């Protein structure tokens, strides 16, 4: 099966390019029975602006963007097997993790969380994921 590009109008296009420049990235690509979702941040899908400065709000928006892309592929958070998280400020981890736990509502995934610098000013969390169609 050739790779299939998945796009959701309810999540921002990633790549953090100028709003007038098309992104070089796909929101997600299906390869076989796996879906690889590009890193999402706390951007509003329409304005491509950071939704809030608060880490809890940013976490919820980022996870909602991921969920919308998964939905466009016919999947949900229940299909996610792995997530990678980048936090600009590792001191945000407790608030991030609490909000993550609430959003996931008991759903389990494997996850790596590191400190780093997302490419766009104001973005304090970025998350990508791999989901399975099985």
Tokens standing for residue 110: 């494997």
What's the predicted TM-score (pTM) here? 0.94
| In contact, 28 and 66? CB cutoff 8 Å | no
Q: Per the domain annotation, does 17 fall within a domain?
A: no
Q: Per the domain annotation, does 19 fall within a domain?
A: no
Average pLDDT on 48-69 reads 96
Residues 6+ apart with CB under 8 A from 109: 77, 80, 81, 82, 83, 129
Number of domains the chain contains = 1
| In contact, 81 and 37? CB cutoff 8 Å | no
State the DSSP code for 99: H
Using one digit for the tens of pLDDT, what is the confidence trace for 93-107? 999 999 999 999 999
Domain containing residue 34: 4-11+25-132
Q: Per the domain annotation, does 110 fall within a domain?
A: yes
Q: Per the domain annotation, does 103 fall within a domain?
A: yes
State the DSSP code for 95: H
Q: Per the domain annotation, does 30 fall within a domain?
A: yes
For the domain that residue 92 is a member of, what is the CATH number? 3.30.1330.40
């Amino acid at each position: 099966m050739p790779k299939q590009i998945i796009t959701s109008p309810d999540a921002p296009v990633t790549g953090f390019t100028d709003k007038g420049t098309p992104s070089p990235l796909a929101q997600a690509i299906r390869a076989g029975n796996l879906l690889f979702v590009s890193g999402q941040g706390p951007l509003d899908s329409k304005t491509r602006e950071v939704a809030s400065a608060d880490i809890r709000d940013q976490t919820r928006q980022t996870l909602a963007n991921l969920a919308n892309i998964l939905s466009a592929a016919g999947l949900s958070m229940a299909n996610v097997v792995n997530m990678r998280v980048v936090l600009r400020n590792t001191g945000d981890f407790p608030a991030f993790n609490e909000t993550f736990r609430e959003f996931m509502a008991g759903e389990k995934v494997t996850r790596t969380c590191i400190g780093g610098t997302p490419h766009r000013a104001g973005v304090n969390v970025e998350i990508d994921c791999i989901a399975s169609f099985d």
